Amino acid sequence: MGRTPARSFVGRRREYEVLATALDGVAMGDSRVVLVSGEAGVGKTRLVERFADAAQDRGVLVLSGACVASGQDGLPLAPILMALRRLVGRIGRDRLIALCSGLPELARLLPELGPASAGGAPAGQARLFHQLAVFVQRLGTDQPVVILVEDLHWADRSTRLLLDVLARNLRDTRVLIIATYRTDDLYRGHPLRPFLAELKRVEGVRHIDLGRFSRAETAELIAAALGERPSSALVDRVFDRSGGNAFLVEELVRVERSGMTFSLDDPLRDLLTGRIECLPDLPRQVIRLVAIERSRVSHQVVAAVAGLPDETLLEALRAAIDAHVLVADGDGYDFRHALVREALVTGLLPGERIRLHRAYAVALDGRPDLLPPEQLPSSLAYHWAGAGAPERELPALLRAAAVAKRLSAHAEQYQLLRRALDLSAQVPDEVDRGDLEYEASDAAWLAGEHEQGLVLIEQALANVDRARQPERAALLLARRGRLLIRLGHADAIPALEEAERLVPEGTSVARATVLEILASALTSRGDAARGYEISEEAARIARTVGDDELQVAALTTQGTALAHDGRHERAVAAFDAARTLAGSRNDLPGLARAGVNLSMELWAVGRYAETVTVAREGLAAARGSGLSATLGAFLAANLGMALFSMGLWDDADAATAEALEANPSGVFAAYLHLLRGDLALARGHLAAAKRCLASAARDFGPDFGLDDGLLPMARLDAEIAFRENRIGHARRTVARALGTARVRGQLAVHAWALVTTGAMIEARSRKPMHAFEEPHEAENLTEVLGSVTAELATGAPPWRAHAEQFAAEMDSHGTTSPLWHDVVAAWEKAGNPYLACYARLRAAEATLATRDDRDARRLLVAAASQARDLGANPLQKKIEALARSIRLPPFEVSETSAKAPKADLLGLTSREAQVLRLLTEGESNRGIGVQLFISEKTASVHVSRILAKLGVTSRGEAAATAHRLRLFNED
């Protein structure tokens, strides 16, 4: 497209070029996302609107919408609904219906398509977003499409999730998404911050940060406004007062042209509203009326609220537009800039605000046809709240919550219901509080607000009559149990067993729901046999009533019960059945949950490569359904464990760091911290490992009772204590954890790892320097280790390798055991290079005891090379120390790679060197991911770290540096 904006458009040519280049790429079938940021008034809207106008002139379909500063009472997906409404008028109803063929969920957004599918199931948002992505792809087949979303800093969570889905899933599609946001509104903790951090790592996402104008650009802008060259004194005054902010420059020039004077001491609000105060009374009243609405307002609404004769109203509106306060926008009006609206509303007296809000609310109640049906409830709730009328606000809130539920916007539904609960205390006769608590608890679960959901359920249970409402009570108890499981609390079973007693017999969704949750709890607490039996009944009922989502959940619980019972192949079959059914109906949450459990089972038995594949597929489903901070965190932890086991430590680091950017909390974050603690300890970063352990303990909480978290946490705690020579603490930690654990099925992998840690502590700590330790501690630990290992299964390769290592450790109390040679082979077979490297070091020690220096040299050379490739610094130091003891020349330690790669000298890890090589060959992040079998986002993390280590700011500079230093010359 054209590279030069219109002449009156000052500056921003480089930024305009970025947008034009992005659109060129889109025209070739490569979707892009551009984020445009800057402070209020800096010119974001002017830039993107000028670009959009030029794009439309070239036949591009431009769809635009703005987020609304509405707080908790707003309409979910507001900018998308606004854009789709405009699309109907652009392409016509028949074309719209054709584009939406086979996408029934879009009826939730477009009533023109007919009634939406019934229900508000957890997967609704995932299906809705998937179908929206398909719709946008279809839209881009006929012509390039630009989707412009303004004011992203006000976006609701559902809008953010949808943009994330579109950015990640629109591939090879002629669609450009542009989103603007204010940087000065992003306070610490703003929900947009983590969203942006994650989005910017997606390939194809660009960021434009608009700065203020220079003095020269300010002079050019003043000249364009005045139509003549300004004096140097005027430029100085305006530049000093505005700081180069484009909007303030124009406001100050208008003040200058009006003959008014301004001082550097004038408050900003006075500057923004000064021209309004100069207008006659009637235009000022109409301007205030428009200001109290949150965004653009149609002429019909203004007329209904103002209640003025047509000619009088039009005269007032014309005066406001001529004064450059309002602008005509389609069939309505808006402020020329949001700063003016904000300044005006701030200056209203409380009584003025109440009167204006009431006028709106009364008008909309009398004429509901003035707004689209999905927008009306939230607007009424907003205005009745402003009018101080809780008895009128409450029913509007409930209708707005119903709209949010229909849109599967559960976070917004929850916030609306919370507000309704607060109001119900003021108007107790207007609503059944028990019903409200029940619905709000369900919305909290679906929104991932688990702690708050638990509080709501406790309140609802206190108010429910269990004799008269047994099914309601049973479902509340089941929900309570489900939340307790998710939060890692130990007292979930009693509530669920009471729920089973209360729920009526028969084939109902309620009974299947209760049974599935009870089966999951029983399995997690050690009763896998009963868990399997109950989950089988839940699956049968789900099939009978035709509830596929419930069947997916029951099949997943079946698989988990089988896995915990040690029946691996049947467990995998159950998980595969759940994934197949979930995939057939695009049940992304179901796919994610089944992926969590299947990837865990595969990792536990040493099928690491399959774990990576399943976990990544599950992560895609979790992101697509807005579950990155919950199920996505579990999947990232499983992915990280597999990568760590395979020796791909950089990738494990990147995957877990990326997952933490989604701000998971509680148990969801705890497993990530544990893995990062293992990684830090293996690399020799003891302080970081201790921080990770503390974070995991905090996130698990004192009531956490699941052994799959407690066992690895005890192991990390014991290994840190051992490194710090706190032998007593290490012994007590291992003995206590093993003494209380209920080990079954896949948990054997965690138990074996803790057992070998305990054996290592025993073998390495029986020296004079530890004579002060209490003798009974060692005896107690040895006894516990022996009793636990007698019961542990050895059916999987990692379990057998751990058993071999345990035997070798326990046989090494006097001198290093010759059994370590077998341990090397076992860990090589299991595919864990780090533990194989450790075993080589111990085998070298055993070989030296037999004075076979030659074989010891061979083992040490191999171990040193492996440790260096892994970045296992403590292990490498031990290897080098042992090598020095037999006078092994330093160059021999690295003889398997005679020349250290030049990339090492730049601080690059081996994986980063691989990524840099592919980058220099012109591969995109996606291409790097394909080549190295990592995700596109993980590749992006590596690229970011490479740029930082090389001290460059772009991929091109990194490639140039690599070529200049001849990092990858084959000679």
How far out from the chain centre does Cα 330 lie?
A: 36
Specify the pLDDT at position 363: 95
Cα–Cα distance for residue pair 528/868, rounded to 1 Å: 43
Bridging pattern class, strands 175-182 and 145-150: parallel
User: What is the H or E stretch that residue 336 is in?
Assistant: none
C-alpha angle 242/247/250, rounded to 5°?
A: 80
Question: How many CA within 13 A on the CB side of residue 76?
Answer: 26
Q: What is the mean pLDDT of residues 260-285?
A: 71
Strand order in the sheet with 332-335: 297-298, 332-335, 326-329
Specify the pLDDT at position 897: 41
| Residue 723 buriedness (CB in 10 A; 0-12 / 13-18 / 19+) | middle
Among 581-595, 621-635, 916-930, the range scoring the smallest mean pLDDT is: 916-930
Whether 52 has a pLDDT exceeding 50, the answer reads yes
Specify the pLDDT at position 771: 41
Among 111-115, 739-743, 838-842, 907-911, the range scoring the smallest mean pLDDT is: 111-115
Residue with tokens 């020269």: 216
Residue type present at position 225 = A
More confident residue, 888 or 588: 588
DSSP annotation of 297 reads E
Cα–Cα distance for residue pair 155/150, rounded to 1 Å: 9
Q: What is the mean pLDDT of residues 180-204?
A: 84
More confident residue, 37 or 666: 37
What's the maximum distance between 2 C-alpha atoms anywhere in the chain?
108
Phi, psi of 35, deg, nearest 5: -100, 130
Cα–Cα distance for residue pair 746/874, rounded to 1 Å: 30
Q: SS3 for 374?
A: coil
Q: At 796, is the pLDDT very low, low, confident or very high (cuts 50, 70, 90)?
A: very high
Whether 241 has a pLDDT exceeding 50, the answer reads yes
Report whether 646 contacts 606 (CB < 8 A): no
C-alpha angle 822/826/830, rounded to 5°?
A: 170
Written as six digits, the tokens of 416 are 């609306």
Cα–Cα distance for residue pair 64/468, rounded to 1 Å: 52
Specify the pLDDT at position 311: 93
More confident residue, 700 or 185: 700
pLDDT in tens, 865-888: 899 889 899 999 999 888 887 776
Whether 699 has a pLDDT exceeding 50, the answer reads yes
Name the CA dihedral angle for 261, 263, 269, 271, rounded to a multiple of 10 degrees.
Answer: 30
pLDDT in tens, 437-461: 888 988 888 787 888 888 898 888 8
Radius of gyration of the chain (CA): 32
Beta bridge partners of 853: none
Residue with tokens 């409402």: 469
Strand order in the sheet with 61-66: 61-66, 145-150, 175-182, 32-38, 205-209
Cα–Cα distance for residue pair 128/81, rounded to 1 Å: 13
Cα–Cα distance for residue pair 334/45, rounded to 1 Å: 13
Whether 240 has a pLDDT exceeding 90, the answer reads no
- DSSP letter for each residue of 479-523: HHHHHHHHTTBS-HHHHHHHHHHHSPSSS-HHHHHHHHHHHHHHH
Residue type present at position 372 = P
Phi, psi of 379, deg, nearest 5: -70, -40
Q: What is the mean pLDDT of residues 617-645?
A: 90
Cα–Cα distance for residue pair 620/948, rounded to 1 Å: 28
User: What is the H or E stretch that residue 65 is in?
Assistant: strand 61-66
Among 123-137, 147-161, 554-568, the range scoring the smallest mean pLDDT is: 123-137
Cα–Cα distance for residue pair 129/149, rounded to 1 Å: 16
Whether 4 has a pLDDT exceeding 70, the answer reads no
Specify the pLDDT at position 258: 67
Is the four-CA dihedral 781, 786, 791, 796 of positive or negative sign?
A: positive
Whole-number percent of the chain with pLDDT over 70: 91
Whether 971 has a pLDDT exceeding 60, the answer reads no
Q: SS3 for 732?
A: helix
Cα–Cα distance for residue pair 319/446, rounded to 1 Å: 49
Query: Which of 374, 369, 381, 382 is closest to 293 using CA atoms?
Result: 382
Q: Crossing angle for the helix pair 925-932 and 910-920, nearest 10 degrees?
A: 130
Contacts of 613 (CB under 8 A, 6+ apart): none
Contacts of 13 (CB under 8 A, 6+ apart): 4, 5
Q: What share of the chain is helix, strand, coil (3-state, %, to 5)?
A: 70, 5, 25
Cα–Cα distance for residue pair 877/445, rounded to 1 Å: 49
DSSP annotation of 427 reads S
Residue with tokens 């949450």: 589
Beta bridge partners of 654: none
More confident residue, 774 or 492: 492
From residue 392, how far is each of 382, 384, 432, 538 by CA, in Å?
11, 6, 16, 43
Written as six digits, the tokens of 616 are 């990544």
pTM: 0.70
Specify the pLDDT at position 942: 83
Among 105-114, 133-142, 703-712, the range scoring the smallest mean pLDDT is: 105-114
Q: What is the mean pLDDT of residues 675-682?
A: 95
Specify the pLDDT at position 427: 85
Residue with tokens 């194989």: 836
Contacts 24+ apart (CB under 8 A), 421-424: 421/456, 423/390, 423/393, 423/394, 423/397, 424/394
Specify the pLDDT at position 901: 52
Whether 397 has a pLDDT exceeding 90, the answer reads yes
Report whether 857 contacts 886 (CB < 8 A): yes
Whole-number percent of the chain with pLDDT over 90: 40
Residue type present at position 337 = H
Specify the pLDDT at position 109: 75
Name the CA dihedral angle for 491, 492, 495, 496, rounded to a multiple of 10 degrees.
Answer: -150
**Whole-angstrom distance between the N-terminal and C-terminal Cα of the chain?**
45
Compute the mean pLDDT over every residue in the chain, rounded to the nearest whole number.
Answer: 85
Q: What is the mean pLDDT of residues 408-428?
A: 88
Query: Which of 209, 259, 265, 261 is closest to 240 using CA atoms?
Result: 265
Q: What is the mean pLDDT of residues 531-553?
A: 93
Q: At 902, is the pLDDT very low, low, confident or very high (cuts 50, 70, 90)?
A: low
Q: At 309, is the pLDDT very low, low, confident or very high (cuts 50, 70, 90)?
A: very high
Ranked by mean pLDDT, the top range of 261-265, 287-291, 564-568, 940-944 is: 287-291
Cα–Cα distance for residue pair 623/630, rounded to 1 Å: 10
> How big is the chain, counted in residues?
971
Helices (H), 741-886: 748-765, 775-789, 797-810, 820-830, 833-849, 853-870, 873-885
Q: What is the mean pLDDT of residues 802-816?
A: 87
Cα–Cα distance for residue pair 647/871, rounded to 1 Å: 10
CB atoms inside a 10 Å sphere around CB 877: 12
Q: SS3 for 259?
A: coil
Bridging pattern class, strands 326-329 and 332-335: antiparallel
Q: At 896, is the pLDDT very low, low, confident or very high (cuts 50, 70, 90)?
A: very low
DSSP annotation of 369 reads G
Residue with tokens 């059944």: 432
CB atoms inside a 10 Å sphere around CB 913: 20
Q: SS3 for 389?
A: coil
Specify the pLDDT at position 149: 94
Residue with tokens 């069939």: 331
Specify the pLDDT at position 264: 41
